[in-house]
Structure formats: structure tokens, C-alpha cells
Amino acid sequence: MVSVVQRFTLMRFFLAALLLVEGIPAALFAAQDEKDRIANVRFEVGADLVRVYYDLIATIDKIHSVQLLLRRESDPLFRYRPLNITGDVGTIVFPGQKRRILWEYVKEFPDGLSGDDYYFVVDAEYIELEGMSPWIWVGGGAAVVGGVVAILLLSGNKDVPPAPVQTGFPQPPGRPN
């Protein structure tokens, strides 16, 4: 005879085992199927600048090409690719959160845009570097920055007078007493 407490414990055990067996393959497949994606696209409009924020979700060793597109809800055919943009956009963008694109929209639309149903689409495409690791680019950039810092630090203070220039042979040391 099995008591109610034992029955509950056995059911909990079998349920945990089932979740474990079913959950592991699902988690493995989800990790394998997770594709690079853009998430959390949002924007702020200032007096002459639009800031577009997004998260690029991918493994850190991947480089992406990121493009920005302005769309309008009331006109499905409206597609505008902003020109005066800077920030985390273009051909070499690394994954991460809170990426930012700045668009100087007044240079393209001096009178502004009429309506309030605009939105942005941020598109990212994985770039495969032929035989090169992205860390080569990061390491090369770090080497250049390190070289510039070393030159600046080793250039010293310009207020210190230069050492006197010596011509000919130095005087011999005095004889010991």
C-alpha cells in the first residue's frame, strides 16, 4: 500500500525526470537554432538629431553589417534609407546591447517630417571574413592605439631643458686620493 505522501513524492520525481529529459534536448536545439537578431529597437527625436537604439544579439566573435531604414505605418510603400548616420551602423558592427545610431535628419529633411507614424527597421547581416578572425581586427586596432599612447607618454614634458650637447671626449675622472 502506497501512502498519499509517497505517491506525491513519486509523481514529483517522475515529473522532474520528464522535464529533465525533455528540457535538455529542447535547450540544446534552442541554443543551436538561435540566430543572430536585432531586438529592442527604439528611438528618440531631438531638435536636429534622431537617436536609434537597438540590441544586436549574436556571439561576440561575429561581425555584422547593420543598415537603418525609416518606414511609415500609414504608407507600406514608404521606405527611406537615411544618409547622414553615424554610430553602430555600417560594415563592421560587433554584437552587444544598447547599440546606437545617430541620424542628422535636418540635413535631409530641413522642414522635418509630417506625421507621427514613422518607425525604424534595423537590419543586420553576418559578415564572414575569409580566413580571418575578427579578433585580428580588434588586436590590430588595439596595437595602433597602444602605439599612439606610447608615443605620447614617451615624448615627455616639453618644459624640461634638453641635456647639454657634448663635443669631443669627456674629461677623465680625477685620481683617487
User: What confidence tens digit (pLDDT) does each residue in 5-36 have?
Assistant: 343 343 444 444 433 444 444 343 334 335 78
Cell of 141: 586596432
How far apart are alpha carbons 10 and 12 in whole angstroms? 5
Segments making up each domain of the chain, as ranges: 37-127
The domain made up of 37-127 has a fold known as: Immunoglobulin-like (2.60.40)
3-state secondary structure of 61: coil
pLDDT tops 60 at residue 40: yes
How far apart are alpha carbons 128 and 119 in whole angstroms? 29
How far apart are alpha carbons 93 and 27 in whole angstroms? 28
Cell of 76: 507600406
Confidence of residue 113 (pLDDT cuts 50, 70, 90): confident
Say what the pLDDT of residue 45 is: 92
Which strand ranges, in their side-by-side order, compose the sheet holding 37-45? Answer: 37-45, 50-57, 96-103, 85-87
pLDDT digits (tens, 9 = 90+) for 118-151: 999 999 998 876 655 555 666 667 777 777 776 7
Greater model confidence, 25 or 92:
92
Answer yes or no: are the C-beta atoms of 122 and 41 closer than 8 Å: yes
Select from 116, 114, 87, 91 the least CA-distant residue to 103.
Answer: 87
With a CB cutoff of 8 Å and minimum separation 6, the contacts of 61 are: 133, 134, 135
Question: Among the ranges 4-8, 65-69, 141-145, 163-167, which has the highest mean pLDDT value?
Answer: 65-69
